[in-house]
Structure 1
Amino acid sequence: MAALLAFLVQTLLARQMSAADYGRFSAGLSLVTIMAPMACFGIGSFWLRVFGQEGWGAYRWIRNSLVYVLISALLVMIALAGWAHWGPHDARTEMVILALSVFVLSQILMELVGVVFQLEENYNYFSFWQFSPHLARLSLLVIFLFFPLFDAYLLSALTAYFVVSVIVVLVGIAILNARLSGKLLLKGHGPMPEIGSASERAGLGEVVRSSLPFGIAGFFYLVYVQMNTVLVKYWGNDEQAAYYNVAFLVITAFLLLPNMAFEKILIPKMHRWYYQDRPLLHSVLKKSALLFAGLGFLSVAVIWFTADFIAAFFFHESPERLAETLQIVKWTIPLRSLSLCFGAVLFIGGHINLRLKMLSAVILVNVAFCYVLIPKSGASGAALSMILADLCMCLLFFGAMLRALRTREGAT
């Protein structure tokens, strides 16, 4: 439901804004979404790993992890303000970036509180936490549609994002403070023992060294997923960015199930299975690969027959450009689904550096194709670049997964 509401929000924005304004907004939102992992820089994924490996002993990492998050968040906010003021864009785009900057802070709290609920395997709370901000944004946008605060719907959209982000930050801080002060219900590691003394806490330097690979890998993956929207804006134009972003949103809707299965549910469990039940991990991976490959090709067939209808729904003028982009980018669904399956293993144990190297290579491949194809073909060129890069990522992650599963490691 959270992902569906996010899709509906973007649908409403695409229909109410001009193509140029929606291009500015989507590029600005992609930019702050790319920057958000830098503010949390791997702490969420690192917590999943150390709690899976150390159990309750991972509490020693918490305090300085939060110090690390505060420092990195401050640096990211400063960087965004600088880019908004001095970047190569108009005043309207500058306003978009500045207004959306608080979205970075909300994403930090969304991730950290979400990780706490994942560690508890409390999926009722986790689902509500993921769902409620999207519902609040959609509700405000609908209200602004009938009772506009501003002449331009772009300003109403920025107001909705700003207000909801502030609320998420305040509520998230309260939840995180309560859970990490002794109320965490960690699953799979028995009852909570006596927490270690201050002398046993991991130092800030240890936190940085241990979480940095997760932060870089998470940042690189988000850059990879979001970068084409930004590149189309700067190497193409705002209208082409709008076409590509809508096509990307449609594809994202078809990727909801594999994203939810791995990123929200399976990865926290896989950290335990890797150390405690390797045969179960192998079985889940095999069945997941077959299931999501099949669903991916089914999704391709659906888009094949409905691309024209989808394009006409979003854009009354020149829908054929969006339809053309959709017919190309649909092939990313089975490739991305398999990449999520294979790549999930690389978050476990000591394999995050291998994932980082492969993501770096795939990003370079994508940028090279975008540089060649976007100036000539706009949104369609960006879509073709993504397909070629996804194929490369899928093959690399498959080889890396086989290597990781041959490694034997024990829990501490």
Structure 2
Amino acid sequence: MFIAQVIFARALTPFDYGILASSLVAVTMLGAIASFGIGPFWLKIFGEKGWSGKEWLKSSLRIVVISCLTACGLLFTYSSIDRSGNGFSLIWWLTPMIGMFAVVDLVSARLQLEERYVTLTLWLMLPQAGRLIVALMAMFSGGALYIVGGGFLGVAITIMAIGAPLIAGMFKANFNLVGHNKEIQIGLPSPRVRDVFAGAWPFAIAGIFYLIYFQSDILLLKWMRGPEIAGLYNVAYATMAAVYMLPGVVYQKYLLHKQHRWAEHDRQQFLAVFRFGCGVMLTTGLIVMVVVLMLAPWAVPLLFGKVYSEAGRIVLVLAVCVPLRFLATSVGGTLVTQDHMRHKVCYMGVAAAVNILLNIILIPLFSYYGAAAATVASETVILCAYLLAVKKRVFGNEAWRGWTLRYRKIGNDG
């Protein structure tokens, strides 16, 4: 994804790159609505109920269909309002990506439940490989946005065609649920759509709030300062997204479904992993921050081009977020389990509100530096909220002590 961003920045004019970046942000935000958090919800429901979670699949898929249609309607409304530059026509080409995001989310959940991490890696590489192909198409076509739009359309349709059979196989129990004996309780009432909605909405809202406090800066900069400024800031955003890859992979792809299981059946293991994760993430985050501060001023313009040299200085501000994000990912990972997700959504909502409010205040005064400062404030708010919550709701006084860089495995569940 990072390499694709580099190619897009070099192949497109700053104006067109800003149009593309803001359009992708809009589609990505609506993609969170499309999947409605069903993927993470499946991890929770199968982690708690084992094979009986299969009964939730039919109603879950109905929710996804409804939410995809809703997201498409919202995208059309947005495209009719935002007529700046070529954004209107480009967004229409990007619409199928909404369905793609939903399929990627659901198939990822299946592969996590099966603990097929190599296959999961390949699956998650597909959208990014497609993005890279589209970037190369943009480069060889001279930066034509209609080529970019057609490329993303083709990628979305291809991925949906590949993922649909994998989702269908779950309805026939044609998958391996690791950690659970294949026993489905007979006679249980089938969950209704409203039951799935009640369980999944915190995961859906959490995804939307995350995108708001992490990506809404780009949209607001486009509206308030123009596509060129948004494109410049997107270079800094792409750099930070690459930096944040490590904690995201560890906690969202590898540990998430295990934490649901440990929270219910092995609290000692749950606490041991939490303490080890906090120690490692805080230490790693501080080291990465120093590396980013050293490399950003010359590496960013070297990769993206001198026209984006100011983005390197924006990264210097955003680098403060690195240890905050690393630690927040570790601490917040415990709040997706049991019934804590409803509280986590509230904390994320506060951070999103802080981000939008500060952006509205600071962007007119300091442009992209104001957006960066708003992001630092949001990351600080959410880390503090998570630390307080994990002490109050999950581990009590054990939460803030015992963080370590030496992991001792507890129990037999790996």
**TM-score bucket (shorter structure):** over 0.9
CA contact (8 A) 1:244 1:322 kept: yes
Identify the range of structure 1 (214-223 vs 313-322) with the bigger mean alpha-carbon deviation. 313-322
Separation in structure 1 between the aligned mates of residue 207 and residue 296 of structure 2, nearest angstrom: 31
Match of 1:22 among 17, 35, 41: 17
Separation in structure 1 between the aligned mates of residue 302 and residue 53 of structure 2, nearest angstrom: 49
Superposed CA deviations along residues 1-29 of structure 1, whole A, max 9, x for unmatched, are xxxxx111111101111111111100010
Paired residue secondary structure (2:255): helix
Match of 2:296 among 294, 298, 307: 307
Match of 2:35 among 40, 52, 57: 40
| 1:111 alignment counterpart | 105
Match of 2:160 among 158, 163, 169: 169
**What code does the residue aligned with 2:170 have?**
R
Superposed CA deviations along residues 345-379 of structure 1, whole A, max 9, x for unmatched, are 11100111111111111111111211121112211
| 1:216 Cα deviation from its structure 2 partner | 1.4
Return 5+ residue gaps in structure 2 as ranges: 397-414
CA contact (8 A) 1:60 1:196 kept: no
| 1:143 Cα deviation from its structure 2 partner | 4.7
CA contact (8 A) 1:30 1:226 kept: yes
**What code does the residue aligned with 2:25 have?**
S
Separation in structure 2 between the aligned mates of residue 310 and residue 237 of structure 1, nearest angstrom: 25
Paired residue secondary structure (1:183): coil
**What code does the residue aligned with 1:193 have?**
E
Separation in structure 2 between the aligned mates of residue 373 and residue 71 of structure 1, nearest angstrom: 37
Match of 1:186 among 164, 177, 192: 177
Identify the range of structure 1 (292-301 vs 14-23) with the bigger mean alpha-carbon deviation. 292-301
Paired residue secondary structure (1:188): coil
Superposed CA deviations along residues 35-83 of structure 1, whole A, max 9, x for unmatched, are 1111111211111111111111111111011011111111111121122
Separation in structure 1 between the aligned mates of residue 131 and residue 23 of structure 2, nearest angstrom: 17
| 1:160 alignment counterpart | 151
Are 1:399 and 2:388 counterparts?
yes
| 1:91 Cα deviation from its structure 2 partner | 5.3
| 1:50 alignment counterpart | 45
C-alpha distance 95-196 of structure 1, shift in aligned 2 (>3 A) = farther
Q: How high is the sequence identity, in percent, across the aligned residues?
A: 26
Identify the range of structure 1 (55-64 vs 213-222) with the bigger mean alpha-carbon deviation. 213-222
CA contact (8 A) 1:345 1:404 kept: no
Separation in structure 2 between the aligned mates of residue 339 and residue 89 of structure 1, nearest angstrom: 37
C-alpha distance 375-144 of structure 1, shift in aligned 2 (>3 A) = closer
Separation in structure 2 between the aligned mates of residue 18 and residue 266 of structure 1, nearest angstrom: 41
**What code does the residue aligned with 1:10 have?**
Q
RMSD between superposed Cα atoms in Å: 1.7
C-alpha distance 311-137 of structure 1, shift in aligned 2 (>3 A) = closer
CA contact (8 A) 2:126 2:159 kept: no
| 1:171 Cα deviation from its structure 2 partner | 1.1
| 1:391 Cα deviation from its structure 2 partner | 0.7
Superposed CA deviations along residues 194-247 of structure 1, whole A, max 9, x for unmatched, are 4646x7210111111221122112221122221111111112221221121111
Paired residue secondary structure (2:179): coil
Separation in structure 1 between the aligned mates of residue 73 and residue 41 of structure 2, nearest angstrom: 25
Separation in structure 1 between the aligned mates of residue 70 and residue 28 of structure 2, nearest angstrom: 15
CA contact (8 A) 2:314 2:369 kept: yes
Match of 2:344 among 335, 340, 355: 355
| 1:410 alignment counterpart | none
Match of 2:331 among 342, 364, 372: 342
| 1:3 alignment counterpart | none
| 2:409 alignment counterpart | none
CA contact (8 A) 2:114 2:178 kept: yes
Separation in structure 2 between the aligned mates of residue 36 and residue 308 of structure 1, nearest angstrom: 33
| 1:127 alignment counterpart | 121
CA contact (8 A) 1:41 1:219 kept: no
Separation in structure 1 between the aligned mates of residue 134 and residue 78 of structure 2, nearest angstrom: 28
**What code does the residue aligned with 1:349 have?**
Q
- Match runs of 1:246-395 below 5 Å: 246-395=235-384
**What code does the residue aligned with 2:7 have?**
L
TM-score by length of 2: 0.92
Return 5+ residue gaps in structure 1 as ranges: 1-5, 408-412
C-alpha distance 311-122 of structure 1, shift in aligned 2 (>3 A) = closer
| 1:314 Cα deviation from its structure 2 partner | 4.4
**What code does the residue aligned with 2:332 have?**
G
**What code does the residue aligned with 2:74 have?**
A
Paired residue secondary structure (1:258): helix
C-alpha distance 319-169 of structure 1, shift in aligned 2 (>3 A) = closer
CA contact (8 A) 2:8 2:138 kept: no
Are 1:74 and 2:63 counterparts?
no
C-alpha distance 208-331 of structure 1, shift in aligned 2 (>3 A) = same
**What code does the residue aligned with 1:81 have?**
F
